[in-house]
Amino acid sequence: MSINYEREKQELTRRNFVSLSGWSIFTLGLLGAGGLFARFFWPNVRYGPPSKFSIGKPGNYPDGAQQTFIDQKVSVIRHGSNIGAISLVCKHLGCTVAPSATGYDCPCHGSKYDAIGQVTHGPAQANLDWFGISLLPSGDLQVDKSDIRTVSAYYGVK
Amino acid sequence: MSVQTTEPKAGPPDPKPGIGAWGKLSRAIYRQAPEVFDNLRQLPYNLYKSIYRTTAFPKTERERSEAFFNSFLLHIQPAKIEKHALRFNYTFGLGLISFYLFLLLTVSGILLMFFYVPSVEQAYNRMLDLRSSVSYGMILRGMHFWSANCMIGAVFFHMCRVFYTGAYKPPREFNWVIGVLLFVLTLVLGFTGYLLPWDQLAFWAITVGANIAGKADYVSDHLAMIPGVPNMHMGVMMKNALLGGDTVGQEALIRFYVLHVALLPSILFFLIVIHFWRIRKDGGISSPKESPE
């Protein structure tokens, strides 16, 4: 077996062509596998609690009531004939805020919100989210956490 | 493919006039620090040399051998082999097929681990999710399942080939022992993986398997015939150790999971490495010349 190595270095010989093709196919395959892996890694379903959940009849909430749904991280409040659903996820870095005498306090970095979720003390820069409420045919109220509202987005109860 | 493997030139490097910003940058580096310019120019060559420690186009027999000795991936192959070893129908490539299936099982198994949860509440649903709501989950599960089945077949036929070519005879007798251990480990990996989908087939297969182990009281029954020796019920001991309880439940699932994804593959890989190393130390694969008719 004699190979002209000087020629191999300079030209696209048959040997170099086959080698180049092989490595190209290998690289393409590797890129394809990488793409498939990225798609596989991307979650198609979420395993958390559903974003819509029932909070019971409006009559369960007397005027001035405040009830926490800790699994859903939602606080339901009633002022007069208005019912509101406030997110308990801090707008700073996502810790769960706790109801306090002045409203809601975040245990992680000390952010404070008033009773309707308006920020009163940093480091948070924004008010707590409110969620949309709707009436189900059964007469129960439903909170939809994908329907994000601003402060005082009350649902009026007759 | 032209690999630049020219030896670094002696004397001052010549700063070729480059185009645009690249040329400006190279000339600036050359003016400020010629030795840095020189080192940068030799960087690709030095990188290649530091990894391969050999020339890309070996000319002599010695250089060709060195190319094999000095590369980690190539050194597993012998630099020279006998002609009959290249004949496909001498080995049918069954050993390498088994090893490739093991690699395939490792890769697909690690990917499956991203979505599987070894808990009695979730395991079955996670398996169903792999089929329905994970992209490429079904083909991945199928790859793992079929590779596992094929690996048992490939290892079995590899043992047959080794037997019929007399490759179990000295000096390869210890490698045959390692091979038998590898075969047993392959079967046990198949058995432990069988429980993980947590369906009816899995549950009752492991129930039956564990109860077979539970029946193995022969030795302790006979030991108990010696006066003063209590009956240890070794079968029940083995069954309880395997299941971590009396029936197949959460304890059995987590035990089988850890055995399947961590302990047994580690032992298998360790033995595979020794198996490959011994092939080389025992003088390559067996030869018809060694046992003349």
Q: What are the residue ranges spanned by the domains of chain B? A: 1-68, 87-288
Model confidence pTM above 0.80 = no
R_g of chain A, CA atoms, integer Å: 29
Tens-place pLDDT, residues A98-153:
988 888 999 999 899 988 889 998 898 899 999 989 888 988 888 888 888 888 88
- ipTM score above 0.95: no
In the DSSP assignment, the letter for residue B224 is: T
DSSP string of A70-138? Answer: TTTTEEEEEETTEEEEEE-B-TTT-PBPEEETTEEE-TTT--EE-TTS-EEESS--SPPPEEEEEE-TT
Q: Contact A40/B134, CB-based, under 8 Å?
A: yes
Instruction: Give domain A52-156's CATH superfamily.
Output: Rieske [2Fe-2S] iron-sulphur domain (2.102.10.10)
Tens-place pLDDT, residues B166-209:
899 888 999 999 999 999 999 999 999 999 999 999 999 999 99
Query: CATH 2.70.150.10: does it fit domain B87-288?
Result: no
| Angle (deg, nearest 10), helices B200-214 and B234-243 | 150
pLDDT band at B212 (very low <50, low <70, confident <90, very high): very high
For chain A, the domains span 5-41, 52-156
Nearest Cα residue in chain A from B58? A5
Residues of A in contact with B111 (CB under 8 A): 37, 40
Q: Is the peptide bond before A123 cis (omega within 30 degrees of 0)?
A: yes
**A9, A42, A45 member nearest B57 (Cβ):** A9
**A9, A42, A45 member nearest B2 (Cβ):** A9
Q: Contact B57/A5, CB-based, under 8 Å?
A: yes
User: How close does chain B come to A52, measured CA to CA in Å?
Assistant: 21
Residues of A in contact with B60 (CB under 8 A): none
Nearest Cα residue in chain A from B55? A5
